[in-house]
């Protein structure tokens, strides 16, 4: 947590209301998000209990598993879930635009929009990840066949929850608590912020109430049911268990009317548990929509659209499902992808948002001030050629702890790196005078291009992380060339029928 | 005594050489405690491997490490042709410029270094090389190298034999993103290079260098006990080999003509700490308990004042075995911190005009990450947990404390606020236990408590 965020939390605690820590919205919101609230059976890994989902706020779909421990019912539920989700995805993948060929890529078609799953919290995303893992290797023939939609749903859920959700800057699978906490600081702990109703109470309390007391009320599970994926233990024992048992007994007796009645009661009980979260989730989306989108938002969403296109194309072309275990090479590639996405997300947030940039200023990695002098004529001779090396003086009130030699760049002109030559107390005023030598981003000529230099009197911020070079991708071997240090080439995976065999009922 | 230890260390080098030259294994691992002659081993083995007539590639982690090795190799093996593979924007440092010539070439392209029998580069540079294979590879600081970095480099010695050298007690490599998804698996790309090699090749021989030539006999037992409990090592020098002599104590020199500034550490405590460090090799400079911000002004001032006073008292470092007696000049002093802003604050305190006039801006002030592999006569350490309210994994990391406490040849003074032991007790382990992740011993709690107990701090 940065010093500024700590300060914002202290202020929020003092005022009893959340304090904004971002000026713009750094996550994308589509016009038609698919809000999804999963509930899981307590004590079972990947046993779904219910989902409430849909794109229409006024008409949520509710899917329920009568007996979560019954795997036939579980996969019937997943089939229904697929029938709900996959049409939404299909619809989005039909509209494409042409992306012109570049040096590295030939012309291709990209979807004009991508899907967006919105879940209450990271626990919900993890539940989807487990469901995806349990579903994507099921087969449509063999010992325990499932509907063909089940493995397809598994691959989609894996893509959302495992491939894209951890990718910095991606918005196709969002957890609301994470997105809200990224933009507001509350007076409660980060752990308490994982409770969506409480977090939203801090940010957007009901009329006549302050955030702190509204959050306290929201913590009462009798008043506000938890946002899942785990259920309230009192609800489990007091309501859920008797209803599931009644439904099972009715089935055992083959009493169809009793089964229908029991199922109806179960649905009603679960609907009552989930409806408040459904409302809260949409309200949280509204609150996020209230923030203006960041300048880089469109570019980031374009990446998401591209990845979505790649994924649906891959499915159409029959690529195998995401493997159970990565190879050493694919894990290393994935880490490189994640780290470069993190770096560019950090950069674009700081460039787009002065409140984020301020964190770096407080941490000593950036400084801001007024340009007091520019020597545009200065040159440096290297070999036979003279290179423009303009000198700039900047007066700042920030405490500059960077040392001479540090490379910095300004959000105003990210492509222009400058080398810090000296920092000294300002001769006549408070604060520091920083001497910078501009090194690039001035065109190819012997003198800087017009408009490429800062001007005297201009306010500028310079930061070290903006000048950091984006790492060149290391050359990784192909999977079948994995060296002995990493175990040699892995054995190719061959699915076997025995893998479907498990203690089924 | 000392000669017997040298012979033992020599026997390890011979055993490593035999293992490599026999080519019985694809790799050999050498664990080295701090200052145990790792670079000497690398330089000597590079020469011996090159003498087979086959080419050797050397991988180190930073340009500074590679340049150090180049300088040492050039001095030890003037007859061997060296090639320094560099990034495009690399500038030849002044100390290497005179060596440039037929025996040392610099280039950013491997084919241009064809005449060289030993080619050196950073791991990042090697990762960009697409072709060429070497029969021998030496990977220095292999515990600081990440598994994915090794994967990019390993095709260059895919059919060769590799020597992995490193210090297992130092800081582990890290990633800037969450890597829990891979934790405990042998393909975890954020694990250390040595961990992944051993996971996939459990039969590789592991050798251990037995003596620290850097750490004095006062320091080696504590560092070994706190950070290497299962792989003990000893000091290479005897207790009477090393000493630190302090000159007479002149009156406390405040900033030009003023009396002590507010917040300035009490002078007598400073002298006591220095005298204790000179006598015992360790000293704890305690401050009253308080929760502070990271750049705790009092602790920062204490670090600067200790260095200042050490210079004012014209401390002399004596090593009878190595045969030197030298004044501990500011460039022989380091101040280590956990965070960059703390280092910046200490540097600012040292730049005060009266201190600057005594040359204190020459003192090295840096974070543990950047002090790795470096050596000084006296070090002053701002304790990572000083003044904190919580003990996070970052501040507890044993590697961090180990680096900070193992950079000195003569004495180390630790600055910290009271209450660290209570803080450790109040913050139990909260990280999830993951399947397949080897339990790390010692954990941060044990190591920190062992150090605090030895220093007599609370």
Q: What's the pLDDT tens digit per position in A218-262?
A: 998 888 999 989 999 999 999 999 999 998 899 899 888 998 999
A-chain residues near B293 (CB < 8 A): 3
A342/B178 Cβ within 8 A: no
Checking if the pLDDT of B422 tops 50, the result is yes
B187 close contact with A: CB closer than 8 A: yes
Checking if the pLDDT of B265 tops 60, the result is no
Over residues B417-429, the mean pLDDT reads: 88
**Torsions phi, psi for B38 (to 5 deg):** -65, -45
B-chain residues near A481 (CB < 8 A): 155, 158
Task: Choose among A326, A338, A339: nearest Cβ to B187.
Answer: A326
B-chain residues near A328 (CB < 8 A): 147, 151, 186-187, 189, 196
Give the angle B347-B353-B357 at the CA atoms, nearest 5°.
Answer: 95
Mutate to test the interface with A, among B29, B124, B153, B177 (most CBs of A within 10 A): B177
Give the angle A202-A205-A210 at the CA atoms, nearest 5°.
Answer: 80
Helix H, strand E, coil C: the string for A326-391 is: CCHHHHHHHHHHHHHHHHHHHHHHHHHCHHHHHHHHHCCCEEEEEEEEEECCCEEEECCEEEECCE
Q: Which helix (H) or strand (E) holds B335?
A: strand B333-337
**Under 8 Å between Cβ of B86 and B107:** yes
- C-alpha span between B231 and B32 (Å, rounded): 10
Higher-confidence residue of B28 and A105: namely: B28
Classified as helix, coil or strand, B252 is coil
On the question of a cis peptide bond just before residue B442, with omega within 30 degrees of 0, the verdict is: yes
Checking if the pLDDT of A382 tops 90, the result is no
pLDDT for residue A290? 96
Over residues B216-241, the mean pLDDT reads: 92
Over residues A146-172, the mean pLDDT reads: 96
pLDDT for residue B258? 44
Tens-digit pLDDT profile for residues A488-499: 888 776 766 666
Checking if the pLDDT of A312 tops 60, the result is yes
A501 close contact with B: CB closer than 8 A: no
The structure tokens listed for A446 are 């012997």
B201 close contact with A: CB closer than 8 A: yes
Over residues A102-120, the mean pLDDT reads: 91
Task: Choose among B185, B187, B201: nearest Cβ to A484.
Answer: B201
Mutate to test the interface with A, among B25, B187, B349, B370 (most CBs of A within 10 A): B187
**Under 8 Å between Cβ of B68 and B104:** no
B129 close contact with A: CB closer than 8 A: yes
List the single range of B215-219, B258-262, B397-401 with lowest mean pLDDT.
Answer: B258-262
- C-alpha gyration radius of chain A: 28
pLDDT for residue B185? 85
Tens-digit pLDDT profile for residues B104-123: 999 999 999 999 999 999 99
Classified as helix, coil or strand, B345 is helix
DSSP A167: S
From start to end of A376-491, where are the E strands? 379-382, 385-388, 391-396, 407-410, 413-425, 432-438, 459-463
A477/B175 Cβ within 8 A: no
**Under 8 Å between Cβ of A356 and A482:** no
A-chain residues near B388 (CB < 8 A): none
The structure tokens listed for A354 are 């002065």
Task: Choose among B129, B179, B196: nearest Cβ to A335.
Answer: B179
> DSSP letter string over A170-230?
--SEEEHHHHHHHHEE-SS-TTGGGSHHHHHHHHSPPTT--HHHHHHHHT-TTTS---SSS
- C-alpha span between A357 and A360 (Å, rounded): 5
Banded pLDDT at A332 (limits 50, 70, 90): very high
pLDDT for residue A501? 61
pLDDT for residue B252? 60
User: Of chain A residues 341-380, which have a CB less than 8 A from chain B?
Assistant: 342-343, 363-364
Helix H, strand E, coil C: the string for A75-115 is: HHHHHHHHHHHHHHHHHHHHCEEEECCCCCCCCEEEECCCC
Banded pLDDT at A441 (limits 50, 70, 90): confident
Task: Choose among B152, B293, B347: nearest Cβ to A476.
Answer: B152
Mutate to test the interface with A, among B128, B183, B189 (most CBs of A within 10 A): B189
**A47 alpha-carbon distance from chain centroid:** 25
B200/A485 Cβ within 8 A: yes
Checking if the pLDDT of B442 tops 80, the result is no
- Sequence-distant (≥ 6) Cβ neighbours of residue A237 within 8 angstroms: none
Give the ipTM.
Answer: 0.88
B454 close contact with A: CB closer than 8 A: no
pLDDT for residue A42? 87
A328/B189 Cβ within 8 A: yes
pLDDT for residue B261? 44
Banded pLDDT at A502 (limits 50, 70, 90): low
A-chain residues near B179 (CB < 8 A): 335
Over residues B89-111, the mean pLDDT reads: 91
- C-alpha span between A305 and A300 (Å, rounded): 9
- C-alpha span between A351 and B155 (Å, rounded): 39
B155/A477 Cβ within 8 A: yes
Checking if the pLDDT of B259 tops 60, the result is no
pLDDT for residue A101? 86
B293 close contact with A: CB closer than 8 A: yes
Please give the mean pLDDT across all residues of chain A: 91
Banded pLDDT at B256 (limits 50, 70, 90): very low
**Under 8 Å between Cβ of B135 and B55:** yes
Residue labelled with tokens 């694990």: B191
Over residues B249-273, the mean pLDDT reads: 60
- Sequence-distant (≥ 6) Cβ neighbours of residue A177 within 8 angstroms: A120, A121, A122, A193, A194, A195, A196, A199
B-chain residues near A326 (CB < 8 A): 182, 187
A6 close contact with B: CB closer than 8 A: no
Residue A111: beta bridge partners? A96
| Closest chain B C-alpha to A362 CA, distance in angstroms | 10
A475/B130 Cβ within 8 A: yes
B-chain residues near A486 (CB < 8 A): 147, 150-151, 154, 187, 196, 200
Over residues A277-289, the mean pLDDT reads: 97
Tens-digit pLDDT profile for residues B352-386: 899 999 999 999 999 999 898 889 999 999 999 99
Tens-digit pLDDT profile for residues A12-32: 999 999 999 999 999 999 999
A477/B128 Cβ within 8 A: no
Helices and strands: H and E segment counts in chain B: 16, 18
A-chain residues near B158 (CB < 8 A): 481, 483-484
Instruction: Measure the CA dihedral B423/B428/B430/B433, to 10°.
Output: 140
For residue A382, what are the CA distances in angstroms to A385, A386, A388, B237?
6, 6, 11, 50
Over residues B419-431, the mean pLDDT reads: 85
A3/B152 Cβ within 8 A: no
Over residues A316-339, the mean pLDDT reads: 91
- C-alpha span between B240 and B199 (Å, rounded): 43
- C-alpha span between A182 and A171 (Å, rounded): 13
B124/A339 Cβ within 8 A: no
Classified as helix, coil or strand, B329 is coil
If you count residue pairs, one on A and one on B, with CB atoms under 8 Å apart, how many are there? Answer: 111
Give the angle B392-B397-B401 at the CA atoms, nearest 5°.
Answer: 120
The structure tokens listed for A76 are 């019937």
pLDDT for residue A132? 95
- Sequence-distant (≥ 6) Cβ neighbours of residue A285 within 8 angstroms: A29, A33, A35, A118, A176
A334 close contact with B: CB closer than 8 A: yes
**Under 8 Å between Cβ of B322 and B263:** no
Tens-digit pLDDT profile for residues B44-63: 999 999 999 999 999 999 89
Classified as helix, coil or strand, A43 is coil
pLDDT for residue A228? 82
A-chain residues near B347 (CB < 8 A): 401, 403
The structure tokens listed for A127 are 């539940």
User: B355: closest CA among B271, B264, B441, B446?
Assistant: B264
- Sequence-distant (≥ 6) Cβ neighbours of residue B433 within 8 angstroms: none
| Closest chain B C-alpha to A162 CA, distance in angstroms | 9
A122 close contact with B: CB closer than 8 A: no
Q: Which helix (H) or strand (E) holds B121?
A: strand B118-122
- C-alpha span between B22 and B37 (Å, rounded): 23
**Under 8 Å between Cβ of A375 and A455:** no
- C-alpha span between A341 and A325 (Å, rounded): 22
Count the neighbouring beta carbons within 10 Å of the beta carbon of residue A278. 20
B-chain residues near A488 (CB < 8 A): 200
For residue B322, what are the CA distances in angstroms to B11, B186, B239?
21, 44, 13
Q: How many CA atoms lie within 13 A of B54 on its CB side?
A: 14
pLDDT for residue B257? 41
Tens-digit pLDDT profile for residues A418-440: 999 999 989 999 999 999 999 98
- C-alpha span between A123 and A391 (Å, rounded): 52
Over residues A337-358, the mean pLDDT reads: 93
Longest dimension (CA), chain B: 70
Checking if the pLDDT of A72 tops 80, the result is yes
List the single range of A441-450, B9-18, B97-106, B268-277 with lowest mean pLDDT.
Answer: A441-450
Residue labelled with tokens 């894209």: A164
| Closest chain A C-alpha to B146 CA, distance in angstroms | 10
Banded pLDDT at A142 (limits 50, 70, 90): confident
Banded pLDDT at B253 (limits 50, 70, 90): low
B340 close contact with A: CB closer than 8 A: yes
Task: Choose among A327, A342, A485: nearest Cβ to B154.
Answer: A485
Checking if the pLDDT of B406 tops 60, the result is yes
The structure tokens listed for A359 are 């964190």
Looking at chain B, the whole-number percentage of residues with pLDDT higher than 70 is 95
- C-alpha span between A329 and B310 (Å, rounded): 52
pLDDT for residue B122? 94
Checking if the pLDDT of B141 tops 50, the result is yes
- C-alpha span between A313 and A91 (Å, rounded): 14
pLDDT for residue A504? 47
Banded pLDDT at B321 (limits 50, 70, 90): confident
Searching chain A, which residue's CA lies closest to the CA of residue B365?
A403
> DSSP letter string over A231-285?
PPHHHIIIIIHHHHHHHHHHHHTT-HHHHHHHHHHHHHHHHHHHHHHHHHHHHHH
Checking if the pLDDT of B262 tops 50, the result is no
- C-alpha span between A348 and A463 (Å, rounded): 13
- C-alpha span between B224 and B233 (Å, rounded): 6
């Amino acid at each position: 947590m940065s010093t500024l965020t700590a300060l914002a939390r202290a202020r929020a605690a003092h005022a009893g209301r959340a304090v904004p820590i971002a000026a713009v919205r750094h996550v994308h919101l589509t016009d038609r998000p698919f809000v999804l609230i999963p509930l899981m059976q307590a004590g079972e890994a990947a046993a779904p209990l219910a989902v409430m989902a849909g794109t229409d706020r006024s008409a949520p779909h509710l899917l329920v598993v009568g007996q979560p421990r019954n795997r036939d019912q579980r996969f019937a539920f997943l089939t229904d879930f697929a029938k709900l989700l996959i049409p939404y995805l299909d619809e989005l993948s039909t509209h494409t635009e042409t992306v012109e060929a570049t040096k590295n890529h030939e012309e291709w078609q990209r979807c004009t929009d991508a899907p967006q799953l919105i879940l209450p919290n990271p626990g919900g995303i993890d539940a989807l990840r487990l469901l995806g893992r349990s579903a994507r290797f099921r087969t449509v023939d063999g010992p325990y066949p499932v509907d063909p939609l089940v493995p397809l749903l598994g691959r989609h859920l894996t893509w959302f929850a495992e491939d894209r959700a951890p990718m910095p800057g991606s918005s196709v699978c969002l957890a609301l608590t994470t997105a809200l906490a990224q933009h507001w600081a509350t007076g409660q702990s980060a752990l308490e912020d994982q409770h969506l109703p409480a977090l939203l109470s801090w940010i957007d309390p009901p009329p006549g109430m302050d955030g702190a007391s509204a959050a306290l009320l929201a913590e009462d599970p009798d008043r506000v049911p938890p946002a899942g994926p785990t259920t309230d233990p009192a609800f489990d024992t007091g309501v859920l268990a008797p209803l599931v048992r009644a439904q099972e007994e009715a089935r055992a007796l083959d009493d169809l009317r009793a089964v229908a009645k029991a199922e109806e009661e179960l649905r009603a009980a679960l609907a009552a548990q989930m409806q408040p979260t459904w409302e809260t989730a949409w309200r949280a989306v509204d609150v996020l929509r209230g923030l203006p989108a960041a300048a880089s938002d469109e570019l980031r969403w374009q990446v998401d659209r591209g990845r979505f296109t790649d994924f649906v194309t891959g499915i159409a072309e029959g690529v195998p499902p995401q493997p159970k275990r990565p190879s050493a090479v694919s894990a290393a590639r994935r880490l490189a992808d994640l780290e470069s996405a993190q770096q560019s997300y950090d950069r674009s947030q700081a460039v787009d948002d002065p409140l984020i940039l301020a964190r770096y200023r407080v941490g000593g990695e950036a400084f801001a001030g007024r340009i007091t002098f520019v020597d545009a004529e200065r040159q440096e001779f290297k070999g036979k050629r003279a290179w423009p090396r303009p000198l700039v003086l900047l007066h700042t009130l920030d405490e500059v702890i960077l040392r001479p030699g540090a490379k910095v760049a300004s959000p105003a002109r990210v492509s222009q790196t400058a080398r810090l030559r000296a920092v000294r107390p300002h001769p006549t005023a408070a604060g520091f005078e920083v001497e910078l030598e501009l090194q690039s981003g001035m065109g190819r000529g012997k003198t800087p291009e017009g408009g490429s230099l800062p001007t005297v009197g201009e306010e500028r911020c310079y930061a070290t992380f903006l000048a950091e070079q984006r790492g060149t991708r290391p050359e990784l071997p192909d999977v079948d060339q994995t060296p002995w240090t990493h175990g040699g080439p892995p054995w190719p995976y061959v699915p076997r029928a025995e893998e479907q065999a498990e203690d089924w009922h | 005594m000392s000669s017997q230890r040298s012979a033992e260390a020599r026997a390890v080098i011979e055993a490593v050489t035999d293992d490599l030259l026999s080519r019985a294994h694809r790799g050999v691992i050498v664990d080295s405690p701090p200052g145990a002659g790792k670079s000497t081993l690398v330089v000597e083995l590079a020469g011996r491997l090159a003498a087979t007539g086959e080419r050797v590639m050397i991988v180190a982690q930073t340009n500074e490490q590679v340049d150090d090795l180049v300088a040492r190799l050039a001095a030890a093996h003037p007859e061997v042709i060296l090639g320094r593979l560099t990034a495009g924007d690399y500038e030849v440092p002044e100390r290497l410029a005179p060596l440039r010539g037929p025996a040392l070439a610099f280039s950013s392209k491997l084919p241009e270094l064809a005449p060289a029998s030993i080619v050196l580069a950073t791991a990042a540079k090697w990762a960009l090389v697409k072709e060429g294979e070497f029969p021998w590879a030496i990977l220095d600081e292999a515990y600081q190298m990440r598994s994915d970095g090794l994967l990019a480099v390993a095709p260059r010695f895919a059919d060769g034999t590799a020597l992995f050298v490193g210090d297992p007690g130092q800081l582990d490599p890290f990633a800037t993103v969450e890597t829990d998804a891979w934790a405990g698996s042998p393909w975890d790309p954020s694990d250390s290079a040595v961990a992944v090699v051993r996971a996939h090749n459990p039969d590789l021989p592991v050798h251990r260098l037995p003596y620290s030539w850097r750490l004095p006999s006062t320091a080696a037992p504590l560092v070994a006990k706190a950070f290497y409990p299962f792989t003990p090592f000893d000091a290479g020098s005897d207790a009477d080999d090393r000493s630190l002599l302090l000159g007479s104590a002149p009156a406390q020199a405040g900033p030009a003509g003023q009396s002590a500034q507010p917040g300035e550490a009490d002078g007598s405590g400073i002298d006591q700490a220095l005298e204790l460090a000179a006598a015992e090799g360790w000293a704890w400079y305690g401050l009253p308990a308080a929760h502070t911000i990271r750049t705790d002004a009092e602790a920062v001032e204490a670090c600067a004042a200790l260095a200042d006073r050490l210079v004012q008292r014209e401390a002399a470092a004596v090593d009878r075995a190595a045969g030197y007696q030298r004044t501990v000049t500011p460039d022989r002093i380091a101040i280590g911190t956990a965070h960059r802003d703390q280092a910046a604050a200490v540097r600012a305190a040292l730049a005060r005009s009266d201190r600057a006039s005594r040359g204190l801006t020459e003192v090295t002030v840096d974070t543990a990450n950047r002090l790795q592999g470096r050596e000084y006569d006296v070090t002053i350490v701002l304790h990572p947990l000083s003044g904190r309210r919580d003990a996070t994994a970052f501040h507890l990391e044993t590697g961090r404390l180990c680096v900070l406490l193992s950079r000195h040849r003569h004495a180390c003074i630790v600055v910290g606020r009271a209450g660290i032991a209570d803080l450790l007790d109040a913050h139990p382990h909260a990280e999830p236990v993951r399947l397949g992740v080897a339990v790390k011993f010692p954990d941060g709690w044990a190591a920190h408590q062992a150090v605090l107990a030895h220093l007599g701090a609370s």
